[in-house]
Amino acid sequence: MRRSPWFHSTRAAFWGAIPAAVVFALSDRAPAPRAPALLAEPAPPLHRPAEPVDASTTAAPPIAAAAAEPVDAGLPFERPTALIALATWTPVRVEPRRDAQALGYLRAGATVDILDGPAGRDGCVVHRDHPEGGWYRVRGGGYICVGGGFAVPAPYRGYRAPTQPDLDAGMPYPYAINYGQSIMYRRLPTLADLRVYEPWRFSRSTPDAGSVSAAEGLDAGTPPTSPSGTEADPSDTAESRAARRVAEVRDAGGPPRLGDLAGERGGPVVRRLLSGMYVALDRTIRSSGTDEVYWRTQSGGFVRNGRLAPVRNWSRFEGQVLDETHRLPMAWMVSETGWEYTPFANGLGASSHRRVPRLTPFVLADAPPIRSGAQTFWRTVDGRAVNQRNVRRALLRTPPEGVGPTEKWIDVDLDEQVLVAYEGARPVFATLISSGRGDRNSGVRNYESPTGSFRIQSRHITNTMDGDTAGDGPYSIEDVPWVMYFHGSYAIHGAFWHSYFGWRMSHGCINMSPPDARWLFLWADPALPAGWHGVYAGTTQPGARVELRHSRANAPEEGRPASAAHAMPVAPTQ
């Protein structure tokens, strides 16, 4: 998983097209020097929001353009008590200067309390209408530049904030999947834009654009199979060239790459969306120019409503908070057709008792297993038994060397596909996961998760994941929920696009059901201050330890459901 080049070159312009919002810029590496008191900021090649180039050039604040240098207009000074973030990435710095390391960040619309300040304006570009501007220390630690394109004093009259994440729900935002080929615009498109970028929606008899009403001649149809001729390619734009590349690659028998889908820098198109790509939703807006309804996404793009279908059937599966009643060892049914058994009195076998649904939990007894020929049965505390082939088992583990008596750490068994959260030697939570699926006979489809001892590097309420895979083609999922990076671009996160927990399904990350990922996210270190969207670990706030291991020498899976064929959405076919 990596963040594709189009993301860095185009997404920065989304919010600038909206009068009450601002934009952000990203890069794969943060050039700022690091504060010696902290660990270097983690920089996974895909998902980590890097530092903006310059708030005065990359942000388009909902006020007049920010001055090139800090300006004091001589207006009465009144120190604010809270701030509201305007940029989609509003960094919180460890010191009051722009080149200081980031402790974390806020997303647009978030508010936090101000503790004191201002502490100067070193690198903090302030608009002349905000004489109180400068670096302010906020609750949770660190400093935010207030008065320019990143944040302003709260409340801010006339500003309509994007929908904020719901931390009490399994899914922090509403999500939608795209069907067919769609276009994500930077702003609400005009009728002239549609004629250029979606010409297949106009009939040949449609009059010139200047005399066409908003609804006249407009068709909600799909683009042609292969753009060609004047109708499908009215001008030699980057978008028309991208459409041709997509069609050429498809006709050649291969999927396009994310770079082929990107729009022209500064143009009205961000990129094309293919079937199976997901977006996080903010709100619907009706275009007065075309009389069509568009969804504004959390990234600030605009996608026509008819192409998006709400994601409703995400997994509500929840693992087990452990206590005296619910304890280890535990097991979960992972087969589609599983049975609970009654052990024979002589302990030499078991008979079928009843069918049990997939994901049913069992508390196992501390008793020897029942062995009958090639089959092994685990006894449960209620006197029944389950077949080893049908379940995944979580066992108590001794803490690794160096773990403190109350230190939080996470154990992931890649063979059993289970995760257990510990505080010292005490297990507090256990559940099923889906790790990277492997195919040792195919290098392009081998996505096995890494093994070893790691620490949480950063935590994000949501973070976009996309990339090009040789085996599955391109994928894009905006605002994946409850993300915790532990090794480069590998993360523990929620997955709403499949429900086969207990089986290897991912491109290398550790997938959890959204409710389980939320539980672990809110429990793990480093702590996420109220109002922040993401936080980075450091020596003063280390991340929780993560242990990934094989308990059975990376044994092949047996009995994998045939319907669990894909970890991500199927490679787009347009």
Residue 195, classed as helix, strand or coil, is helix
pLDDT in tens, 167-196: 999 999 999 999 988 999 999 999 999 999
- Largest Cα–Cα distance in the chain? 92
Q: Is 388 left (phi over 0), alpha (psi -120 to 50) or beta?
A: alpha
Name the burial class of residue 108, with classes exposed (0-12), middle (13-18) and buried (19+) by CB atoms within 10 angstroms of its CB. buried
Q: What's the pLDDT at 171?
A: 97
Identify the residue with better confidence: 244 or 294: 294
pLDDT in tens, 515-530: 999 999 999 999 999 9
Percent of the chain residues topping a pLDDT of 90: 60
Name the burial class of residue 406, with classes exposed (0-12), middle (13-18) and buried (19+) by CB atoms within 10 angstroms of its CB. exposed
CATH number 2.40.440.10 given to 408-549: yes
Pairing assessment for the beta strands 408-413 and 545-549 based on DSSP bridges: parallel
Tell me which residue has tokens 């949501």: 462
Residue ranges of the alpha helices (H) in 11-161?
Answer: 55-58
Q: What's the pLDDT at 268?
A: 94
Mean pLDDT of 325-339: 93
Judge whether residue 430 has pLDDT over 90.
yes
Q: What's the pLDDT at 401?
A: 94
Q: Which two tokens stand for residue 512?
A: 């959890």
Mean pLDDT of 434-463: 87
Name the burial class of residue 563, with classes exposed (0-12), middle (13-18) and buried (19+) by CB atoms within 10 angstroms of its CB. exposed
Task: Tell me how far apart the alpha carbons of residues 509 and 437 are, in angstroms, rounded to a whole number.
Answer: 10
Q: What's the pLDDT at 391?
A: 96
Highest mean pLDDT among 157-161, 195-199, 304-308, 479-483: 479-483
Judge whether residue 65 has pLDDT over 70.
no
Residue 514, classed as helix, strand or coil, is helix
Residues in the chain: 574
Q: What's the pLDDT at 76?
A: 54
Q: With bands split at pLDDT 50, 70 and 90, how would you rate the model's confidence at 254? A: low
C-alpha R_g of the chain = 26
Identify the residue with better confidence: 77 or 59: 77
Mean pLDDT of 364-376: 93
Q: With bands split at pLDDT 50, 70 and 90, how would you rate the model's confidence at 129? A: confident
pLDDT in tens, 374-427: 899 999 999 999 999 999 999 999 999 999 999 999 999 999 999 999 999 999
Burial of 93-105, coded b for 16+ CB within 10 Å and e otherwise, reads: bbbbbbebbbbbb
Mean pLDDT of 29-57: 33
- Extract the runs of DSSP E, i.e. beta strands, from 238-349: 269-273, 278-286, 293-297, 302-304, 308-310, 320-321, 330-333, 338-343
Tell me which residue has tokens 């009465």: 76
Q: Which among 288, 318, 289, 282 has a CA at the least distance from the CA of 303? A: 282
Task: Tell me how far apart the alpha carbons of residues 425 and 125 are, in angstroms, rounded to a whole number.
Answer: 50
Q: With bands split at pLDDT 50, 70 and 90, how would you rate the model's confidence at 562? A: low
Q: Look at 224-228, 348-352, 488-492 and tell me which has the smallest mean pLDDT.
A: 224-228
Judge whether residue 37 has pLDDT over 90.
no
Judge whether residue 46 has pLDDT over 60.
no
Tell me which residue has tokens 């096995």: 448
Highest mean pLDDT among 212-221, 264-273, 517-526: 517-526
Task: Tell me how far apart the alpha carbons of residues 30 and 535 are, in angstroms, rounded to a whole number.
Answer: 15
Q: What's the pLDDT at 564?
A: 64
Identify the residue with better confidence: 530 or 131: 530
In the chain, ranges of CATH 2.40.440.10 domains: 408-549
Q: What's the pLDDT at 495?
A: 97
Q: What's the pLDDT at 28?
A: 32
Q: With bands split at pLDDT 50, 70 and 90, how would you rate the model's confidence at 83? A: very high
Q: Which two tokens stand for residue 98?
A: 């722009």
Q: With bands split at pLDDT 50, 70 and 90, how would you rate the model's confidence at 202? A: confident
250 to 109, 233, 244: CA distances (angstroms): 40, 18, 10
Judge whether residue 551 has pLDDT over 60.
yes
Q: With bands split at pLDDT 50, 70 and 90, how would you rate the model's confidence at 457? A: very high
Q: What's the pLDDT at 317?
A: 97
548 in Cβ contact with 451 (< 8 Å): yes
Q: Which CATH number fits domain 329-394: 2.60.120, 1.10.443, 2.40.50, 2.30.30?
A: 2.30.30
Q: Which among 411, 413, 416 has a CA at the least distance from the CA of 389? A: 416
In the chain, ranges of CATH 2.30.30 domains: 329-394
Judge whether residue 19 has pLDDT over 60.
no
Residue 207, classed as helix, strand or coil, is coil
What dihedral do alpha carbons 486, 491, 492, 496 form, nearest 10°? 170
Judge whether residue 41 has pLDDT over 70.
no
Mean pLDDT over each residue of the chain, to the nearest integer: 80
Q: Which two tokens stand for residue 392?
A: 């995944």
Query: Whole-model pTM?
Result: 0.80
pLDDT in tens, 464-508: 998 877 666 788 999 999 999 999 999 999 999 999 999 999 989
Q: What's the pLDDT at 380?
A: 97
Judge whether residue 59 has pLDDT over 50.
no
Q: Which two tokens stand for residue 37?
A: 């008191």
Residue 208: how many CA atoms within 13 Å on its side-chain side? 2
Task: Tell me how far apart the alpha carbons of residues 128 and 137 are, in angstroms, rounded to a whole number.
Answer: 21
Q: What's the pLDDT at 553?
A: 78
Residue 563, classed as helix, strand or coil, is coil
Q: Look at 173-182, 227-236, 379-388, 559-568 and tell me which has the smallest mean pLDDT.
A: 227-236
Name the burial class of residue 379, with classes exposed (0-12), middle (13-18) and buried (19+) by CB atoms within 10 angstroms of its CB. buried
Q: Look at 62-66, 285-289, 496-500 and tell me which has the smallest mean pLDDT.
A: 62-66
Judge whether residue 220 has pLDDT over 80.
no
Q: What's the pLDDT at 27?
A: 31
Q: What's the pLDDT at 446?
A: 77
Task: Tell me how far apart the alpha carbons of residues 234 and 206 are, in angstroms, rounded to a whole number.
Answer: 14
Q: With bands split at pLDDT 50, 70 and 90, how would you rate the model's confidence at 557? A: confident
Q: What's the pLDDT at 176?
A: 97
Percent of the chain residues topping a pLDDT of 70: 73
Q: What's the pLDDT at 565?
A: 55
Compute the Cα dihedral for 121, 123, 128, 129 and give only its sign: negative
DSSP 215-265: STTB---PPPSS--HHHH-SS--HHHHHHHHHHHHHHTTSPPPHHHHB--T
241 in Cβ contact with 261 (< 8 Å): no
Q: Which two tokens stand for residue 463?
A: 């973070």
Q: With bands split at pLDDT 50, 70 and 90, how would you rate the model's confidence at 258? A: confident
Burial of 196-216, coded b for 16+ CB within 10 Å and e otherwise, reads: bbbbebbeeebeeeeebeeee
